[in-house]
Amino acid sequence: MVSPLPPFDPEASSKFFFKHGHTGWLGLEYSDHGENWVELKLPWREDLLGDADRPILASGPIVSLMDMASGMSIWTTMKTFNPVATLDLRVDYQRPAREHCAVIGRAECYRITRSAAFVRGIAYDDDIDDPVAHIAGVFMTIGKDPRSGTI
Amino acid sequence: MAQSDQSGGDNASEKAMTAQLPHYAQSLGIKVSEFEDGLPVLTVEFGPMVEGRPGAFHGGATSGLLENAGYAALRAVLIAEDRDPQLKPINITVQFLSAGKNKPTFAKGRITRLGRRNANVSVEAWQDDRSRPIATAIMNILMAERME
């Protein structure tokens, strides 16, 4: 009998998630979380600009930020680290992110079925009521928590 | 505005177009690999900067490649029409079809509809087998005339 695993902890996991790979390169940071949501921060960086004419953050890093916050909101809601695959992710850009501002991504998992998880969220810089983008995503659970050792 | 040679897939035009990619694309190591029918094919090598789960592309990195391929395709078509608007993202929907493995990924955009103010662009990303895309995207891009 496997002893129960501790619930998924978004703050503690961030230390591992953002140490390597794409999210490490972006420099994502843990910001906050609740029962079914996670907030991450994408610090401002000159080499992530997406427009030759204006100092505007590219939209690609915002997709990465929201994809990661979405996955973590699902694990936070389920309380387990079951691997999930993104089926689709939609981003509606409301306005450019402000120059020299970090972008915060807040994703909320509002529904989980046996095999799918539904997420919505916003990206914002200095005012949560004036978002940079709205997102909606659907994810599929593809296995058990690897920490249980019984994948 | 820089002139872009679209007469063929010679190495110089791909290098010139790579140099015109946004900072973000260049930081991620995205390059123009070739032109097909006047449209650029973008590519990115697998490496730590694009890695999500060990040995696989992060969905965000794949999205970044798709998005840049969409913009590059639109820019190429606009240049051919002698237009030079500012491009602003309206939205992007990415469909993830299978995991991107630890090998180079390619992406090419196609302009589904080119209007005066909006372009609808569809993009596909693939690895070894082009008939099995790993991800696709639909983008709406606003084209704003430049204010002098």
Separation of alpha carbons B50 and A89, rounded Å: 18
Pure H helices in chain B: 11-20, 23-27, 59-80
What is the ipTM, given to two decimal places?
A: 0.89
pLDDT for the residue A149: 59
Q: Residue B109: pLDDT above 70?
A: yes
Reported as a pLDDT band with limits 50, 70 and 90, residue B147 is: confident
Contact: A50, B61; criterion CB under 8 Å: no
Predicted local confidence at residue A13, as pLDDT: 93
- Reported confidence tier of residue B8, pLDDT bands at 50, 70, 90: very low
Q: A26-85 pLDDT, tens per residue?
A: 999 999 999 999 999 999 988 888 877 778 888 889 999 999 999 999 999 999 998 899
User: For residue B110, what are the β-bridge partners?
Assistant: B122
Give the per-residue pLDDT at B5: 41
Instruction: Average the pLDDT over B61-83 and give the result.
Output: 95
Contact B57, B51 (CB under 8 A): yes
Three-class SS state of B118: strand
Are the Cβ atoms of B61 and A89 closer than 8 angstroms?
A: no
Say if residue B74's pLDDT is above 80: yes
Does B23 touch chain A if contact means CB atoms closer than 8 Å?
Answer: yes
Residues of B in contact with A21 (CB under 8 A): 48-52, 58
Task: Report pLDDT for A4.
Answer: 74
Q: What is the mean pLDDT of chain A?
A: 90
